[in-house]
Chain A
Amino acid sequence: MWTEILQGAILASIFASMIRLATPLLLAAMGEMIAERSGVLNLGVEGMMLMGAFSGFMVAYFTGSIWLGVLGAMLTGGLMGLIMAFMAITLKVEQIVTGMALNLLGSGVSLFWHRLLFNKTEEVNVATIQIFQPLRIPGLSDIPYLGEVFFSHRWLTYLAFALVPMIWFFLYRTKYGLEIRCVGENPRAIDVRGVNVARLQYLATIFGGLMAGVAGSFLTLAASPRFVPEISAGRGWLAIVIVIAGNWMPWRIMFAALLFAFLDAFQLHVQGVGVLIPYQILLAIPYVFAILAMMGSRARSEAPRHLGVPYLRE
């Protein structure tokens, strides 16, 4: 097994897959981090991602434009973020329950519309679209191995990684970033200074939804050309795990996302070279690892103190 895997070409392919597979995890985790930093525990990421994947595919299928598909996925995710924000911030419903409700909503609505649109026409197996092609960076993508690993990806992948320093800068070097970090830590302090707590939390939660939607669109507009029910397959939950494992810090979250993506890439290639391990065991690895990662990550120094606690002004 190891001799087959430890070849330059295969290793390059594993690492290229890792970067590709990290894209949806990273996008969703960055959005979730911002929402959680503002104190809103959004457990609906899975549902938002699924709806993003679904609406992105549908818009692209019916308009013929994958760019509009990404926009549709963003808007859908943002809308679900708005529902989450309204329930959590305005109504102050238990955030855990609201998040679960959104997961079930995404699962139910996407399944319903999918059946509605495709089972009638028996198109269920053939409905595919033209997806984004890898964007090879001229010159750099020709470097042996490194070109394949780093410079031959879809634009959404470049975007996901470019967002890491941008979000870091926003969070730690701008006034709004400071305010968002403060809101999750001590909302009263920020309220006393005359900043609108609810507004900040709304924006952060909607941003989280947008990002989850885009993350979902990667699945149907860049990774595979079709939508299947439950295509998100727990990636939204993994994004939540990644935020915790990354201690709510952008760079660490990027490494955590890469780690999970590596496990996924590794199991894909192990399957690919025909090693006799049942594929179910390989597929379960990221989920088992998620539990192990939670056992190991005791460093929660950056966990927002008011995470999941509604702010009552009294």
Chain B
Amino acid sequence: MTGTRRGLRFPYRLERRSDVGRWAQLAWLIVAIVAALIASGLLLLTAGADVVEAFGALFGGGFGGWRELLETLVRATPLILTGLAAALAFRAKVWNIGGEGQLFAGAMAGYWAFTLFAGLPPVALFLVVIAAAAAGGAAVGWLAALLKTRFGVDEIISTVMMNYIVMFFLSLMLSGVGPWREQGSYYQQSAMLPESAQFLVLLPRSRLHVGFLLAVLAAMAIHILLTRTPLGYEIRAIGFNPTAARFKGTNVPKVMAVTLAISGALAGLAGAGELFGLQHRLVMDLSNGLGYTGIIVAMLANLHPLGVVLAAILFGGLTNGAFRLQVATGVPSAFTFAIQAIVLLFVISASILSSFRVRTVSDVD
């Protein structure tokens, strides 16, 4: 990795640094986001939109006022949880791509618990459904760990395949022959949840529900887990060097299973929030890729749990702003999906570039 070539005296040298400063990282992150915005601006030009007006609508719609901000937090709620799910697993270098499926598994488990315990008082029902949703997501995550440690199935493959399988299962449950289909409905959806089962709304005249608090608490819990507990140490250790961790006596398969189970549980909670807090009925497009966006959120946050909250709010704002973008300029709101992927590409490139430094070399030879 040197900038010098034979016969060419170049007084700078590019070298990898062992420690990357926080500020250098942050600076590169900002560079990456600006670059991503420029690339996204080019995409807006293909839509024939006024780029300044479009970005104005995008950010105004996301962060322009109190009401917009509240709605942004609503959109950020599931992303915090799926972002945490990805961040935790990726810390252990366990590639859980199954956030989407685990989210749906959580929503379905929560819905199932609701059908069994609908008569409970609201607070008890709330606790039962979130426990069920966490368990549902955790079960799917744990299955991926089992497949990996017992049968050698790569977790990337199994989690992706389970995303599809879970969706087919939901489609079956909501189909004409399925038990959850709303009576006589033309659409593939469940009946509306009664008010007693819906999550508490935190502020009047907003859609911000108690799931947001749950998500922020989860972020703090995961932060503490990773930094202050033996399990967190082991999770980071197997991500850093699984062989060394094994020699130090870490039960790698067990840590992997616990990591995937917690990761799945977080995604499952996101599913419960969307179902009981926002949509109030089980539908096929309950998520619209929240599990995948969680991966981007986690990478943007550099896999830091508290950073995930900020990144999720940024992306929640983008999602929210995209609706105003569509209304104001006619640019399809699907623009957010494109912009998110572009941000990811630039951010992962920047994270590599930030680990280099240019050094002045006075005498090379």
Using a CB–CB cutoff of 8 Å, the interface residues on chain A facing chain B are 43, 83, 87, 91-94, 96-98, 100-105, 107-109, 111-116, 119-120, 233-234, 237, 240-241, 244, 278, 280-281, 283-284, 287-288, 290-291, 294-295, 298, 314
Could you jot down 5 A-B contacts, CB within 8 Å? A91-B349, A107-B289, A116-B47, A244-B157, A284-B168
Residues of A within 8 A of B348 (CB): 87, 93-94, 97-98, 101
Known: A105-B338, A105-B341, A111-B337. A116 touches B158 (CB 8 A): no
B60 to chain A, nearest CB (A): 20
Docked CA distance A291–B158 (Å): 6
8 Å CB contact of A294 from B1, B95, B154, B351: B154
Q: Which residues of B contact A295 (CB under 8 A)?
A: 147, 151-153
Q: Which of A43, A94, A116 contacts B46 (CB 8 A)?
A: A116
**B117 at the binding interface (Cβ < 8 Å):** no
Given A93-B351, A116-B47, A295-B152, 5 extra CB contacts under 8 A: A102-B345, A112-B338, A115-B332, A116-B331, A119-B332
Closest to B97 in A: A100
0/1 per residue, B325-345, Cβ < 8 Å to A? 000001110111111111011
CB of B214 within 8 A of chain A? no
Choose the segment among B123-131, B226-234, B256-264, B291-299 that binds chain A (4+ C-beta atoms closer than 8 Å): B291-299
CB pair B47 A241 closer than 8 Å: no
Question: Given A92-B352, A97-B299, A107-B337, are A87 and B345 neighbors across the interface (CB < 8 Å)?
Answer: yes
Q: Once the chains are docked, how many angstroms separate the CA of A92 from the CA of B351? A: 11
CA distance A290 to B331 in the complex (A): 38
Chain A residues whose C-beta falls within 8 Å of the C-beta of B151 in the assembled complex: 294-295
Q: Which residues of A contact B157 (CB under 8 A)?
A: 237, 240-241, 244, 290-291, 294
Minimal Cβ-Cβ distance residue in B for A106? B341
| Complex CA distance for A25 and B338, rounded to whole angstroms | 26
Indicate whether B169 reaches chain A with its CB closer than 8 angstroms.
Answer: yes
- CB distance A280 to B331 under 8 Å? no
Task: Please name all residues of chain B whose beta carbon is closer than 8 Å to the beta carbon of A281 when the two chains form the complex.
Answer: 168, 172
**Ranked 9 nearest A-B pairs via Cβ:** A108-B337, A115-B332, A108-B338, A105-B341, A104-B341, A280-B172, A284-B168, A294-B153, A295-B151
Q: How far is the CB of B357 from chain A (nearest CB, A)?
A: 16
User: Which residue of B332, B339, B345 contacts A83 across the interface (Cβ within 8 Å)?
Assistant: B345
Q: Is the CB of B160 within 8 A of A104?
A: no
- B171 within 8 Å of A (CB atoms): yes
Task: Tell which of B164, B295, B335 touches A112, judged by Cβ atoms closer than 8 Å.
Answer: B335
The answer for the CA separation of A114 and B338 in the assembled complex, in Å, is 12
- Cβ of A105: which chain B residues have Cβ within 8 Å of it? 338, 341-342, 345
Distance between A107 CB and nearest chain B CB, rounded to angstroms = 6
A116 in contact with B332 given A111-B337, A280-B171 (CB within 8 Å): yes
Query: Known: A105-B345, A108-B338. Is A280-B43 also a contact (CB below 8 A)?
Result: no
Chain A residue nearest to B293 (CB atoms) is: A104
Using A91-B352, A112-B334, A112-B335 as known contacts, say yes or no to A280 and B169 having CB atoms under 8 A apart. Answer: yes
Query: Which residues of B sit under 8 angstroms from A114, Cβ to Cβ?
Result: 334
- Looking at the complex, which one of B47, B299, B334 makes contact with A108 (CB distance below 8 Å)? B334
Within B147-179, the residues touching A (CB, 8 Å) are 147, 151-154, 156-158, 160-162, 164-165, 168-169, 171-172, 175, 177
Residues of B within 8 A of A280 (CB): 168-169, 171-172, 175
Inter-chain contact A112/B43, CB cutoff 8 Å: yes
A291 and B147 in contact, given A83-B345, A96-B156 (Cβ under 8 angstroms): yes
Asked if B353 is at the interface of the complex by the 8 Å CB criterion, the answer is yes
Say which residue of A87, A109, A278 sits within 8 Å of B338 (CB atoms).
Answer: A109
Which A residues lie within 8 Å of B152 (CB)? 294-295, 298
A281 to B173, CA, bound (A): 11
Central interface residue in B1, B160, B171, by most chain A CB within 10 Å: B160
Q: CB-CB < 8 A to A241: which residues of B?
A: 157, 161
CB pair A284 B349 closer than 8 Å: no
Q: Write the chain A residue with the least CB distance to B176.
A: A278
CA A241 to CA B330, docked complex, whole Å: 40
CB distance from A166 to the nearest CB of B (A): 28
Rounded to whole Å, the gap between the CB of B216 and the closest CB of chain A is: 25
**Shortest Cβ distance from A302 into chain B, in angstroms?**
16
Shortest CB–CB separation between residue B102 and chain A, in angstroms?
A: 15
Partner of B43 from the list A96, A109, A119, A298 (CB cut-off 8 Å) is: A109
Known: A93-B349, A105-B342, A291-B153. A278 touches B330 (CB 8 A): no
Contact between A43 and B337 (Cβ–Cβ < 8 Å)? no
CA–CA, A101 and B342, complex, Å: 8
- Distance in Å: Cβ of A274 to nearest Cβ of chain B: 14
Residues of A within 8 A of B331 (CB): 116
Verify B337–A284 contact, CB threshold 8 A: no
Partner of B341, one of A91, A109, A116, A283: A109
- List B25-53 residues whose CB lies under 8 Å from chain A: 43, 46-47
Residue interface mask B282-307, A partner, CB < 8 A = 1: 00000001001001100100000000
Bound CA span A108–B351, Å: 22
